[in-house]
Chains A and B, each alone.
Chain A
Amino acid sequence: MKFRFIFTVCAGILVVLLASSAAARVKMVSLPERGDVVIRLDNPAATLIEEERILALQKGLNRVDFSWKGVRIDPDSIRLTLLSHPDRVRLLNVSYPPDEAALVWEISSDGAWEEKIRVSYLLAGIDRLFAYKALADESETGVMLRGRMVLRNFSGEDFETARVISGVGAEMTVRSLHEETKRVLILGKNRIPIIKVWTFDAAVQPWDPDRVSGNVGIPVSYRFSNTAEAGLGTGELPAGKVRVFQQEAEQGSIFLGEDRIDGVPPGEKAEIRIGDSRDLLVTQHKTAEKRFNVKRNDKNRVVLYDQEEEIRAEIENFKKTPARLTLVEHIAGHWEMKAASFDYELRDAQTLVFEIDLDPGEKKTLNLHYVRRNIRP
């Protein structure tokens, strides 16, 4: 299953012959060798191929056949650039023969010479993915990061040698055959600082783990920055799957988990969720709820009220190491804090973020006392 571009170059006299017998088009003359080929993958929406060839042009009208049977070229995207004699060689028209994946360029040349051309087109069925491997050190303060590009070629076309521009890292030369998948290293950083974070979100996690039949875990992530200080920051880290391992003394490594990152522009932070911790436990209860300032309409229906609420969250660290828990609470609408046993930051008007440090084996209690104002039932 080989698919090839076929170039046929015909001198002007031949054109007349062909025109008289459209159904039996003669495809002959020389097959120009493929020169420099660039596979440009920097736009994930489409892959652009640019390939150069040398055509032996005759003086006068030349016809060049370009066909792509079995190759997933977008015919509307095909462009021809004349490189050697742009002022003396002109593309006159492009025609598409019936029932064929092909086109014919009519080129007028002022002389008989070799013309370097570049054919550009969008090719479907060929793309790239990015995959990362992160190896955390034993203290979980840094990772070794390897980024790989996976070139998937199901386009119908073989590229014996091509320069690949992925938009990440330096360009590289590869051989890529139809139905071949190739994984190439494009990024290697030996130590990128990370922060390990545990996150309990009261809107996501169950409040009382004892009442849940399955295991309840608190999501654990590694946070890192795409910055020069972190050893990165030179470009966007493209979206892809990250598999995280951890180094063990003399034992190799273990697999910690995997996550997908979105593209991380320079200067931005990203989080990789590795798994769940079952050794941090948050048990939360609403301990008081009382309405007041109740307003009623003429029909005695409640139209507006305030409500006082109290929340108690018990946080336990059963680990042998300290941990900083990010605890996220949500209070809807208009509210006023009366007392909070820990400081918090507002992520938005209704989201409170507490950072709570826990020593090994330590238990802390977060108490919140707040009033929600002007609730309309």
Chain B
Amino acid sequence: MKRPYWFIVLVLFWSCPAGAKIDLVSLPDRDSVQLTIYNSADLTLVRESRELTLQKGVNRMQFSWANTLIDPTSLEMLPRSGAGKIDVFDLSYPPRTENLGVWQIESSLGGKVPMQISYLTSGLSWRPFYIGTLSPNEQTLDLQGYVRVSNASGEDYENAQVRLIVGEVNLLDEIATLARRRHPYGSPVARPEADQIAYGQRAKAAFETVEAEMVRTTAMAAPKKIEKKGVSEYFLYTIEGTETIAHRWSKRLPSFRAGAVPVVNRYKYEEERFGDAVVRFLRIENDRKSGLGQTPVPAGELQVFRSLGEDRRLAFVGRSRFKYIPVGKEADLNLGPVENVRVEAVLMHQATGNYTFFKDGNISGWDEELGYRIQVKNRRPVAAAVEIVRNVGSPNWEIKLSGEYGEYTRVDADSVKFLLNTAPRSEAEFTYTLTIHHGKRAE
């Protein structure tokens, strides 16, 4: 399924009066290619090695990239040997041509020289995703991480070393936009419509087709190791060996597996965030005692199943799209609202008092008393930790608690939290009374 329309054609015209072609050398195949694919932006750094034959003197090399999504401003060529003897001194984009660049290279060496060509392209992407299986008692999670690498760049990459970057890079321009410019650096002459080459349609069509094809073409590759290491603020995943990713194909590769990650089932209730519903969260910690903690866990979607224990059958619990989890950090994975844990907050008592007055008889301050009853019902066959956040709406208050309110925390100036550990199929109830000071009573 090699596509005919991507190529790099490299031609040498050397040590000659301008424009006089003395010789023509076809480009040797890539010796190696390395793809570093980012997931925070449509961006891939491609680095390829080719052995070129240089003549002593000035060599002109032509490079073209029609129908690809290469950012021509990112093109770089570096000799991999002969330091100080080979000088890549300019790159020009000749007039009235498109998708073509000519390097001028001055060499005091003749013969074969390994060169490295690098550029940024769009159209390659990767995303992590996760599948988790809860143990029957829901105390541990078998967590499997995968990455899916997709290629809609217009180019077939054969035997490429694939590296994936986790992190948020600062980008000023989209690479795809730079790739579609008629002139690589734009033009000082305002011709906004004429300055874009209409690749958009093709690229879009390619993406659409890819989405449709992924379902059919995605297949488990042979398991490979993924080496992970931190680089600056990012994490770099290097996939063992090389991969061939043809245009419009994608690959799914296993990233990690942690067999028994301890989980805390936490059920959260906060009227202002979730309405009347109780939302189930799975708390995991990205640390070594969880079998994780080697690297951050990149943001992605987790599908959670529960093992029923019999005949390896499963039940689907929910899915969660979660944020990046740094090493050592705990994370609450939102699995959505549940019906079998309920919290009911009811205002049972309301009163005002302690009025103060101005000299003219108007009210200058008062206290408001609000008494709430909170009922917690755990209808599940397993224990559940229920976290209830109540927002007061004022910083001037006092609270009185009674009943099974669990662990109480003042979160900030105007909110409090209760954490109750409920037994399987149990109920709990507590009350609290807020005294809120208004006007002069708050001073």
Contacts and interface: CB of A to CB of B under 8 A. Distances in A.
Contact of A152 (B91, B170, B187, B362): B187
B442 interface: yes
A278 B296 CA distance: 9
Given A215-B323, A275-B169, A276-B168, A154 B358 contact: no
Contacts of B236: 254
A254 B234 contact: yes
Interface stretch (A89-97, A103-111, A182-190, A335-343): A182-190
B90 interface: yes
Contacts of A178: 95
A318 B326 contact: yes
B232 A136 contact: yes
Interface residues of A, number: 75
A281 interface: yes
A287 B409 CA distance: 12
Interface in B392-440: 395-396, 410-413, 440
A74 interface: no
Contact of B324 (A211, A215, A258): A215
B186 to A, nearest CB: 7
Contacts of B234: 254, 256, 275
B326 A275 contact: no
B344 to A, nearest CB: 24
Interface in A283-327: 285-294, 296, 300, 305, 310, 312, 316, 318-320
Contacts of A285: 411-413
A175 B45 contact: no
A259 B172 CA distance: 6
A16 interface: no
Given A278-B167, A294-B440, A185 B90 contact: yes
A215 B443 contact: no
Contact of B73 (A131, A215, A312, A316): A131
A141 interface: no
B73 A252 contact: no
A36 interface: no
Given A136-B232, A255-B36, A257-B169, A286 B413 contact: yes
Given A125-B189, A152-B188, A256 B169 contact: yes
B171 interface: yes
Contact of A180 (B43, B74, B94, B172): B94
A133 B324 CA distance: 29
B93 A180 contact: yes
A55 interface: no
B412 A286 contact: yes
Given A152-B183, A182-B90, A274-B233, A289 B413 contact: yes
Interface in A208-233: 210-211, 213-217, 219-220
A29 B103 CA distance: 40
Contact of B233 (A124, A220, A310): A220
Given A279-B233, A300-B364, A255 B96 contact: no
Interface stretch (A57-65, A241-249, A347-355, A365-373): A241-249
Interface in B155-172: 163, 165, 167-172
B359 to A, nearest CB: 9
Nearest to B182: A179
Nearest to B411: A285
Contact of B170 (A246, A259, A310): A259
Interface in B362-390: 362, 364
B230 interface: yes
A6 interface: no
A31 interface: no
A54 interface: no
A302 B185 CA distance: 59
A341 to B, nearest CB: 17
A177 B358 contact: no
Contacts of B184: 181
B89 A184 contact: yes
B80 to A, nearest CB: 10
Given A124-B188, A294-B440, 7 more contacts: A140-B232, A152-B183, A252-B118, A281-B329, A290-B395, A310-B413, A316-B329
11 contacts: A129-B185, A182-B90, A182-B91, A215-B323, A248-B231, A252-B34, A254-B163, A256-B233, A258-B170, A287-B413, A319-B326
